[in-house]
Amino acid sequence: MAYGDVDVLRNVSLTVAPGTTTCIIGPSGSGKSTLLRGVNRLHEPKSGDVLLAGESALQVKPDILRARIGMVFQHFNLFPDHTALDNVALALWSVKGTSKAEARERARRRLAEVGLAERADHRPRDLSGGQQQRVAIARALAMEPEVMLFDEATSALDPELVKGVLNLMAGLGRRGMTMLVVTHEMNFARKVADQVVFMDEGEVVEMGPPTELFDNPRSERLQRFLSEVL
Ligand code: ADP
Ligand code: MG
């Protein structure tokens, strides 16, 4: 992956088994967001491929791909002028061609699943950061994705709102969602991840089960990173 002539990811290769959670950790600028953006083609890789259930993601139309791979961002990216309900329903009728009534019905169910049934008619500015992020998660789930990507989904939240969103993510994992989670929440990674990937300077430096990486970091780079964040 490159921005202009600058290569930012080199030789990154990883496999995520269906129904598992992979947490990606590493210092700022190490390429974590670039990796996620490559997976759903928000950024086109210069070389290499992304396989989704054996099929090249690079051959799938971007809007179809983004329905199959949901993404949740640090800053929610909700439509400010739409209600929570319409934020969730919009992509269903515009991308999936669901009727408006059916889309609203499904959106209502999704909002209930993330604990926001009572907030369906609120606009983003009338919701807390944690609630906005749960709307964003409901919006991605409404498309019935095969994979969910989270890019520092709790980094912009006030500390007391972080837990609710992390619990929601952990619950998705327990129910068998396949997830790639970029996070600074080391306790979450330790508890929830099946696999942890440590990136530094555009490379995957170490990857393995959480106990292995957190309790027995092999590389000096991971040891240094953990000593700074733990
Ligand atoms: P992380 O998410 O781990 O903080 P990023 O994937 O955002 O890292 O960035 C990896 C590298 O790519 C950094 O050196 C960053 O400065 C660079 N970069 C990120 N986005 C762009 C962009 N749009 N244009 C040019 N360089 C970028
Ligand atoms: Mg990032």
The pLDDT mean for the chain works out to 95
DSSP string, 49-93: --EETTEEGGGS-HHHHHHHEEEE-TT----TTS-HHHHHHHHHH
Question: What share of the chain in percent tops pLDDT 90?
Answer: 90
Q: For ligand 1, say whether the CB of 3 is within 6 Å of any of its atoms.
A: yes
Length of the chain: 230
ipTM value of the model?
0.97
Q: What is the pLDDT of residues 104-147, one digit of tens each?
A: 999 999 999 999 999 999 999 999 999 999 999 999 999 999 99
Q: For ligand 1, say whether the CB of 13 is within 6 Å of any of its atoms.
A: no
Q: For ligand 1, say whether the CB of 32 is within 6 Å of any of its atoms.
A: yes
| Paired sense of beta strands 6-7 and 147-151, if any | unpaired
- pLDDT at residue 4 tops 90: no
Q: For ligand 1, say whether the CB of 8 is within 6 Å of any of its atoms.
A: yes
Q: What is the pLDDT of residues 49-80, one digit of tens each?
A: 999 999 999 999 998 999 999 999 999 999 99
Specify the pLDDT at position 46.
87
Q: What tokens appear for 137 in the block?
A: 């998660």
Atom 12 (ligand 1) nearest CA: 8
Closest ligand 1 atom to Cα of 37: 6
Which ligand places an atom closest to the C-alpha of 225? 1
**146 phi and psi angles, rounded to 5 deg:** -85, -25
Q: For ligand 1, say whether the CB of 28 is within 6 Å of any of its atoms.
A: yes
